[in-house]
Structure 1
Amino acid sequence: MEINNGHTFQAEEGDRLSNLPDDILLDILARLNISTVAKTSALSTRWRHLPWQLTKLDLDVAEFLHAPVFNSITTVHMDQAMSALTKAATSLLSVPQRDTSIRNLGLKLYMMDSYSSNIGSVLSQAIEAGIVKELDLAVLHEKRHIDCNDDDMLHQARAVKVFAGVFPRVIHCITRLSLYNVRLDGDIHHIIFDCCTQLDYLSLEHCDDGSRAVWKINAPNSKLRHLELAVCFFGRLDLVCLPKFEYIYWEIWFTPYAPLSFRSVPSLRELRLSCPAQSDFQGFKLSKVLQGVPNLHTLTIDFQGEKLWMQPEQKQICPAFNNLKKLSILCIHVEFDLLWTIILLEAAPSVELLCIDTWEHVCLVNKEDEDGRKLVYGETTHPSWEISEFTGTRNWQLKELQFTGFRPLKQQLVFLKAIMEQARNLQTVILKEEEPCEDCEALGTPLSCIKDHDFPKSKDEQDNVVEQLREKISSDSQIIFQCL
């Protein structure tokens, strides 16, 4: 009887759910992946028509893979997944069955001749009929970037060019484009910046130009606002003209000098640079990179390791920092003195939020023998910036300081006291405990210099830190400790 009652209860709940109006059911379906949507609609006549009324649709080939993929996938798995994706796209984008347009279609696929051709045909018809308004296209690759060679990247580029040539209507509809393992030759450049006339967002992962030369973007008619790069090989990225461009994030570059330059980017508001400095890095002056960027609002520089990739400088950086409101200086080696960061803060007196984050990972050091790691990253190099030229002559607007990975080390306390003393408008200092690294903890090896300086968790420990920070200085800022 209990089992029967359970089944009756489940049936009643199912009926109750099905009695909800279409708009609520559509909201539920919109939160599910496409394979679950298909199964749900197949089980109930009440739900059967709903997938064709979704105004936002995500078709991801990864959802049709039979098992999680941690390395390169086989051709058989790709074929099976693309076959299922093609069937789903053909059904859900079918012109006769749809009476509702798709405001945004997300499509992640592998460029396999027959399948991508079929999807391209269906998509072209849907775009022509006004069913698909905006397309978010991701061209995936079956290999991880560390397993890719030149032939793989050339093959991926050819596949993209063939698809773009056969289905120009699809290319014109793209608002977001993500490319993986692609050789960015002149034809690909033309497709991205001339043919993708609606392009707003571009993501490039493990892409290059084949020669590590300067890769220029001169697109005065482009609508591009957002650019993300990861593990890309260019001699330099030169943004010549992008009038609507607002945001760029580059994670890991390989040139020993400045990775990018700006000319006419009047709308650029946010820049994020993140990279560990390899042994051949010569470093660069941030002021030179930021020439031609008059309205920068947010700057994030992430060092990820044992040395800085910025060259010391003083007042040269002031003009570029005039309108900066948020400054994040991340992954500074935990052993480093932090007073050098004050140079950046004094150069940007308009900054209202400063974020600092420290770095040390024994898990990365132990992945290679010591000599092997030194060949890649070189010796740990402490900052050698002189701060005597700045003496607090400009009134800081700093209101909040967030310090992640805080420990009561001497260099951290000295830095915090200096900020609290100079920043007259400082309202809040937030000291955050660092997120644990599972790989570091698994090694069971103490971190080099912080084993006796844990994050203060007890009231007595926190009171002791506050007392040290307020000693001999006048500051009304509130000090907040955030434990995990």
Structure 2
Amino acid sequence: MESPPPKLIAGQDHDDRISALPDHLLLDVRERLDLREAVRAGALSTRWRRLPNHLSRVHLDVARFQGATPLEAMDAFTGAARALLTLVPLAEGECVRGALRVLILGFYMSSPHLSSIARLVEDIVSLGQTECLEFCISPLPVSNTASLLAEIGQQFMSFSRAYPVAFSWLTGLTLQHHSLGHSDLTNLISACGGLRHLTLRICRLLEDSSLKIDAHHSGIQELKFVCFRCTRIELVSLPKLREVQCLYWPYENPPVHFGYVPELRHVRLSSFAMAWQAPFALSECLSRSARNLSKLSLDFSHQMIWIQPEHPKNLAPIFRNLASVYLFGIFLECDLSWTLFILEAAPALLNIALSQHSCVKTPEHSAEKTNVVWEPSKDLKHVNLKLLSIFGCEDEDKVTNYIRLVMERAVGLKRIELDSEYFCEDCNAIDLERSKVHKASMRRIKERLTHGSSSSVEIIII
């Protein structure tokens, strides 16, 4: 027997089905909706307007708002922020405001709107219940010259100084297209006492000098530099730092130097090498204090290999807890056996993944591709490696020989995965015919490895 329909609240419009829901379901629906959908639903619900008092999460991004101009989009963004974040007095009989624990705002550096946004944020954090506060800030999308970006950078610094309470509660900050002075960045890190995640995307130092971050009392856990222009990055002291990403650096190698970073877990470097960037040894870059490093990701963008194989003793203190290594974008003509210098230096390594692909896209002024040669020690026997993953490798002989080499040296190997559908973001190389050819190639590699072999290693095509 079907259950009877829910009773509507007395005096409520029978067509207002949303208002028939209990508060906890309304909140769950609201926090899952896109902003525009939520606004449409709010137009139908007589109870929707008091829900902001109970939201636990708000994420607003100016890119989701429409307007004839960026300023009009910011008008709409700020209006929505007021509607959702303004502390409305509670009606008689209503419970106290719930905790707004997560607040994420993405907006433009637009002077007419910044004070309104900051005051709303400071009202929220003054309740003392916010656990995550993130800003993603970029200039208005107009033609930005170098001098204008420098002006925007100074405008941002004035903004941060004018609202110290909001910035002291920040846990995440992303700046895009800002030009800042070295002291601006160091002062900003000092002022943002709760900052855990900092991203600088297509930003630059005004003095075109090195960036030195010496913040022994900082709680920063993650740093991400994307096309960040300076002469070098030196992380002198960041005791809580766990992850660093450095992507597409336009200065000399190595892109970053680590100092005191005892909690460092993951390093990701991704770029193609320019003609003036010489290969470097990882021991020049990584710090011996990073003894908890467990994940290393290197992407060479199918161009020159910008690291040099080196003797395991140089890396052993740093790699003693390394568990996962990802080596992507190795150009097709390059030998693969050089990758074993990492295996030899990392006795706890559990899995290694690599990709090799004939990408046709070569950026202007790229460094010349040269083969990398390295002979592993004759007595190398690795007992902990369990998984070898191969993505997009097209030279059957090279891949087969490399896998045999790893199987011979990694005596604890349990599984080999051959990826049959590799997608290259640089050249968009994937289609049905290519996939069929690649899958057939993977099958032939598997047959060659298993034919006449007594190995218990599982080889699968995924």
Please state which band the TM-score falls in when normalised by the shorter chain: 0.7 to 0.9
Per the alignment, residue 386 of structure 1 pairs with 374
Which amino acid is the alignment partner of residue 378 of structure 1? A
Quote how far apart the aligned CAs of 1:127 are: 2.5
Give the C-alpha shift of residue 39 in structure 1.
2.5
Output the amino acid matched with 1:454. V
Partners of 2:45 and 2:436 lie apart in 1 by 60
Residue of structure 2 equivalent to 1:368: none
- Call closer, same or farther: CA 1:452–1:170 in 2, change over 3 Å: closer
Name which of 219, 229, 233 aligns with 2:229. Answer: 233
SS in 2 for 1:49: helix
Cα offset, 1:216, TM superposition: 0.7
Root mean square deviation of aligned Cα:
2.7
Alignment of structure 1 residues 83-232 onto 2, 5 Å: 83-97=75-89, 99-130=97-128, 132-143=130-141, 148-232=144-228
**Aligned pair partner of 1:477 in 449, 457, 461:** 457
CA positional deviation for 1:204: 0.7
Provide the aligned length of Structure 1 versus Structure 2. 441
Supply the distance in 1 between the matched residues of 2:457 and 2:131 (Cα, whole angstroms): 50
Question: Aligned partners of 1:124 and 1:354: how far apart in 2?
Answer: 46
Q: What residue identity is the alignment partner of 1:197?
A: G
Matched with 2:340 is: 342
The code of the aligned residue for 2:301 comes to Q
1:387: Cα distance to partner? Answer: 0.9
Q: Is the 8 A contact 2:391 2:418 kept in 1?
A: yes
Is 1:300 paired with 2:297? yes
TM-score (norm 2): 0.88
Kindly indicate whether the alpha-carbon contact (under 8 Å) linking 1:354 and 1:402 is maintained by their aligned counterparts in 2: yes
Determine the structure 2 residue equivalent to 1:289.
Answer: 285
Residues 312-333 of structure 1, C-alpha deviations (whole Å, 9 max, x = no match) = 3223223221110001111111
Measured in 2, the distance between the counterparts of 1:282 and 1:111 equals 38
TM-superposed CA distance for 1:394, in Å, is 4.2
Q: Residues 344-374 of structure 1, C-alpha deviation per residue, up to 9 Å, x if partnerless?
A: 1122121101111123322x24xxxxxxx5x
Structure 1: distance between partners of 2:209 and 2:390 = 38
Distance 1:396 1:184 in 2: 49
Query: What residue in structure 2 maps to residue 467 of structure 1?
Result: 447
SS in 1 for 2:329: strand
* TM-aligned CA distance change 1:296 to 1:96, over 3 Å: same
Is the contact made by 1:250 and 1:272 (CA closer than 8 Å) also made in structure 2?
Answer: yes
The Cα offsets for residues 47-68 of structure 1, whole Å up to 9 and x where unpaired, read as 33223321110111111134xx
Residue 42 of structure 1: how far off its partner (Å): 2.0
Question: CA 1:440–1:184 in 2, change beyond 3 Å: closer, same or farther?
Answer: closer
**Structure 1 alignment gaps of length 5 or more:** 1-11, 67-75, 366-372
Question: Which of these residues, 392, 399, 404, is aligned with residue 412 of structure 1?
Answer: 399
Q: Distance in 2 between matches of 1:15 and 1:150?
A: 54
Assess if the C-alpha contact under 8 Å between 1:270 and 1:299 holds in 2.
yes
Paired with 2:47 and 2:387, the residues of 1 have a C-alpha distance of 53
Residue 4 of structure 1: aligned partner: none
1:175-221 Cα distance to aligned partner (Å, 9 max, x none): 10000112231442244311100001111101121233221111111
Residue in 1 that maps onto 2:318 = 320
Distance across 2 between alignment mates of 1:83 and 1:97: 24
* Counterpart for residue 415 of structure 2: 428
Given that residues 150 and 206 in structure 2 are in contact (C-alpha distance below 8 angstroms), is that contact kept between their aligned partners in structure 1? no
Structure 1: how far apart are the matches of 2:182 and 2:406? 49
C-alpha distance in structure 2 between counterparts of 1:174 and 1:236, whole Å: 26
What secondary structure, in the 3-state scheme, does the structure 1 residue paired with 2:49 have?
A: coil
Q: 1:133: how far off?
A: 4.9
Shift of 1:134: 3.5
Q: Against the structure 1 CA distance between its residues 473 and 238, is the aligned structure 2 distance closer, same or farther, given a 3 Å change threshold?
A: farther
Distance, in Å, in 1 between the alignment partners of 2:171 and 2:265 is 20
Secondary structure, counterpart of 1:327 in structure 2: strand
1:401 aligns with 2:401: no
Query: CA-to-partner distance for each residue in 1:423-469, whole Å, 9 max, x for gaps?
Result: 1111110100233459857999x9xxxx8993234xxx665422311
1:349–1:475 Cα change, 3 Å: farther
Q: Is contact 2:18-2:45 (8 Å) kept? A: no
Aligned residue for 2:3?
none
Cα distance change, pair 301–437 in 1 and its aligned pair in 2 (3 A)? closer
User: Structure 1 residues 84 and 117 mapped into 2: Cα distance closer, same or farther (>3 Å)?
Assistant: same
Q: Using the alignment, how far apart are the partners of 2:427 and 2:297 within structure 1?
A: 25
8 A contact 1:33–1:63 mirrored in 2: no
Q: Is the 8 A contact 1:421 1:473 kept in 2?
A: no
Give the aligned partner of residue 6 of structure 2.
Answer: none
Normalising by structure 1, what TM-score? 0.84
* Residue from 441, 444, 456 that aligns with 2:439: 456
Is the aligned partner of 1:58 residue 2:59? yes
Distance across 2 between alignment mates of 1:158 and 1:231: 20
> 2:71 — aligned with what?
79
Structure 2 counterpart SS, 1:288: helix
Of residues 366, 379, 388, the one that matches 1:377 is 366
Q: Do 2:253 and 2:279's aligned partners in 1 also have CA atoms closer than 8 Å?
A: yes
1:31-80 per-position Cα deviation (integer Å, ceiling 9, x unaligned): 223233222212211433223321110111111134xxxxxxxxx61110
Paired residue secondary structure (1:28): helix
CA distance in 2, matches of 1:331, 1:442: 13
